[in-house]
Structure 1
């Protein structure tokens, strides 16, 4: 039996699952974080829950986060997935 596919709004079942991008923006795409203005590469989109919060019916909903890596390497950062756009859509001249 295979695991069901997740939609962009459904959290991935575990961190070990393959990376998923955003609708129309696959993992590895050069993107701009509109919240910070920084350019980076989309690495993954995950649902974050605090480590001290146990899952269950009374647990708060997790927060979706997009993980971005700076162009040329460096420390990844997170942002709201709604703030991520293709760099070429912003007129950056990126491929």
Structure 2
């Protein structure tokens, strides 16, 4: 149940930041507004007990994986083939860090 509340806080913060940016602060990036809202939520002592401690597996599964999937769907194959050497090189470097 605590994970559901945690995800609800994140969804609320992102939706609220998007609404604020589109209606009032068009010159400021929505990312900065979302970080400010996240910091404001973290400063309220009652919400700290509701928010799950940072879990890298949860972050990778809920945030990074969908972002990478949708970005991969929109990337043209030509762009991937054009920069295949850089992609393979970065992959080798990242894999060597994990060893």
TM class by shorter chain equals under 0.3
TM-score by length of 1: 0.20
Higher strand share: 1
Higher helix share: 2
Rg larger for: 2
TM-score by length of 2: 0.19
